[in-house]
Amino acid sequence: MPPFLNNVSDLSLLPEILKRRTFAIVSHPDAGKTTLTEKLLLFGGAIQEAGAVKSNKIKKHATSDFMEIERQRGISVATSVMAFDYKEKKINILDTPGHQDFAEDTYRTLTAVDSAIVVIDVAKGVEPQTEKLVEVCRMRKTPMIVFINKLDREGRDGFELLDEIEEKLGLHVCPLSWPIGMGQRFKGVYNLFEKQLNLFQPHGKQDEEEIIAIKDTNSELLVQHVGAAATKELRDDLEIVNTVYPDFDQQKYLDGNLSPVFFGSAINNFGVKELLDCFIQIAPPPKPRETEERTVRPDEDQFSGFVFKIHANMDPKHRDRIAFLRICSGKFERNTNYLHVRQGRTMKFSNPTAFMAAKKSIVDEAFPGDIVGLYDSGNFKIGDTLTGGENLHFKGIPSFSPEQFRYINNANPLKAKQLDKGIMQLTEEGVAQLFTKEDNARKIIGTVGALQFEVIQYRLEHEYGASCNYEPLSLHKACWITADKKEAINKLVKERKRDIAKDKDGHLVFLAESAWALKMAQENYPHVEFHFKSEF
C-alpha cells in the first residue's frame, strides 16, 4: 500500500482509489500512439474492433483546414478520456492531441495524469515532439514507461536507442524486455520482468501470444525456439544489459527517476499485453496533490478537483463548452453543490459526463483519478478548482512560453468591447495567450501553433461578432520574470520598457527578440530570473 494511504480518512474510498490508473500516452506523431491506445482498449474490451479510435485521429493532411481539424477535434472529445477495466483495475487513458499545433492542450493534459507511456519509433528514435512532452513529464516527476515500437520493421540498434533516450530525454532507463532481431529477422522479445520468451508471429496473428517460461537464458529451450545464432546474440545482449543498466526498482520509477523500457509492435499487438500487465502492477494510483494551501490526499472525504482542459463547441447552434475536471480527492456526486473557488459561489451539475471510448454517459459519482466532463456556459477557466467547500487552489497547471507571436488589431472600432471580451474568454479557455505591451498597450497573441491564429479570428467573428487582423511580430520567446529584490525587476522594466509586457493575469513578461537577446538580458540582469513557464 502506498505510504501516504496509511492514515486513511474515508475507508470506503480506498478500494476505488487503489483501483485507478490514470495515464497518457505521449509520442511524436506517427510513432504509434493511436495504434497502441486501440490495442489497449481491445484488451480492456472497451472497443470491439480495431479502427474505432483511429477514425477519430486528427489527420495530418488537414493542417491547412482548421475547420476540418476542429470538426475532428469535436469528434475526438468523445475519446478524450478512455476508461476501461482490466484485471480489476480501472484504467483511464487521457488522449492527447497528436497535432503539434495543439501541443499546449497536451501539456495541460499531462498535469491531470499520474503516469505516462512514451512511444518511440524504433527506426526514428527520439523525435522533437517526444523531447518536449517528456520534458513536461520530467518537470512534474511523472513516472514514465517507454515502449519502443515497430520492431517488425528494420530499425536502430537497441543499445543505441537507449543511449539516445538517456541523452536526449534525460531519462534513466532499465530494459524490462529485450528484442530478438528486428524487421524480417524479428523473432520476439525476452521479457526480463516475467522471465519468459515471447515469440513473434507476423501478420497480426498475435491473439494467443506464444509465451514460454524460461527462467534462465542459458537454457537449451531458448535455442530450440529461436535457433542458435539468435540465442547467442540475445545472451550477449543480455550480458551487456545486466552490466550496464540498473535493476528495476519500483520506488525509483514512482519517483520519476527510472523508466522501464519495453520493445514490441503495436500494430501486430505484440508486446502490448506484457506492457499492460506490467503497467497495472507498477504504475501509481492517484497520488496526493499540492495546492497553494496544503497537500490534498486522494482519500480525504471532501471532494476536490481541477479543470485542466476546456473544449469549445464550434457549432454555432450549440455554443456550450465542456470543462474537463480531474478529481483529486473524495467522491464527486451528481446534483451536489460544490464550491467554485475562484468565483466564490456554489454550483451543481445535473449531467456530468464520463467518456467510455466513443460513448458518453452521465455519471452519478466519480472518484480520484477519474475525469468528468462538465457542461459549461463560460464559468470555467483552465486551472479552476472545485471543492466540497474549502478554499483550495491546485498548483501545477502552467502556461508555457508560446512560440509564435502576432500583434492583434481591432478591425471594427464599433466592436471593441466584444473583441476584448472574446479575447479574454478565448485565452481563459487556453486557445492562446495574451500579452499587453507596457510601452504602448498593444496586444500580442502568443500561441504554440500557427493554426490557433485562424481559430481565434474565426471564433471572434462567429461567437462574439468582433473582427480582428494580425500584424507579424518576430519574437523568439516570452519569458516571465521574477526577482528576489524588487529593484532588480524595476531596473529591467525601466531600461527595457519596449521589451516588457504583462500577461492576462498582470504578471510581467520579457519579450526576447532572439535567443541572443535573451542571453544578453540574462547576463545584464543577473538578479532577475527568466522563466519559460508561468508557474514557478
CB of 116 to ligand G4P, least distance (A): 14
Task: Give the per-residue contact string, 293-332, with ligand G4P (x = CB under 6 A; - = no).
Answer: ----------------------------------------
* Strand ranges (E), 357-399: 359-362, 365-366, 371-376, 385-387
- Considering only residues 17, 230, 267, 296, which one is a binding residue for ligand G4P as defined by CB under 6 A? 267
CB of 60 to ligand G4P, least distance (A): 8
Instruction: Quote the crossing angle between the two packed helices 451-464 and 416-429, to the nearest 10°.
Output: 130
Examine residue 116 and tell whether it contacts ligand G4P (CB under 6 A): no
Asked if 388 contacts 330 with a C-beta cutoff of 8 angstroms, the reply is yes
H/E element holding 331?
none
Nearer to ligand G4P by C-beta: 150 or 443?
A: 150
Q: Which residues pair with 404 in a beta bridge?
A: 447
> What DSSP letter does each residue of 159-225 carry, written as one string?
HHHHHHHHHHH---EEESEEEES-GGG--EEEETTTTEEEE--TTT--TT-EEEE-S-TTSHHHHHH
CB of 192 to ligand G4P, least distance (A): 20
Q: How many binding residues for ligand G4P (CB under 6 A)?
A: 18
Segment contacting ligand G4P by CB under 6 A, of 78-86, 161-169, 259-267, 516-524: 259-267
CB of 257 to ligand G4P, least distance (A): 26
Q: What is the DSSP letter of 449?
A: S
Cell output for 490:
524595476
Task: With CA atoms as reference, report the closest residue to 300 among 9, 64, 2, 34.
Answer: 9
Nearer to ligand G4P by C-beta: 33 or 459?
A: 33
Cell output for 23:
495515464
Task: With CA atoms as reference, report the closest residue to 328 among 279, 377, 390.
Answer: 390
Nearer to ligand G4P by C-beta: 2 or 29?
A: 29
- Considering only residues 97, 98, 284, 430, which one is a binding residue for ligand G4P as defined by CB under 6 A? 98
Task: With CA atoms as reference, report the closest residue to 522 among 514, 82, 358, 234.
Answer: 514
Examine residue 76 and tell whether it contacts ligand G4P (CB under 6 A): no
Report the relative pairing of strands 81-86 and 89-94 from DSSP bridges.
antiparallel
Residues 152-191 that bind ligand G4P (CB under 6 A): 152-153
- Residue 310 burial class via C-beta count within 10 angstroms: exposed 0-12, middle 13-18, buried 19 and up: buried
Segment contacting ligand G4P by CB under 6 A, of 261-269, 292-300, 424-432, 442-450: 261-269
CB of 130 to ligand G4P, least distance (A): 10
Residues 30-49 that bind ligand G4P (CB under 6 A): 30-35
Examine residue 266 and tell whether it contacts ligand G4P (CB under 6 A): yes
How far is 160 from 142, CA to CA, in rounded Å? 24
Segment contacting ligand G4P by CB under 6 A, of 23-31, 40-48, 366-374, 379-387: 23-31
Segment contacting ligand G4P by CB under 6 A, of 15-23, 145-153, 169-177, 522-530: 145-153
- Considering only residues 149, 191, 385, 457, which one is a binding residue for ligand G4P as defined by CB under 6 A? 149
- Considering only residues 13, 21, 26, 27, which one is a binding residue for ligand G4P as defined by CB under 6 A? 27
Computed from CA positions of residues 505, 508, 512, 513, in that sequence, does the dihedral angle turn out positive or negative? Answer: positive
CB of 123 to ligand G4P, least distance (A): 9
Residues of this chain that interact with ligand G4P (CB under 6 A) are 27, 29-35, 57, 98, 149-150, 152-153, 265-268
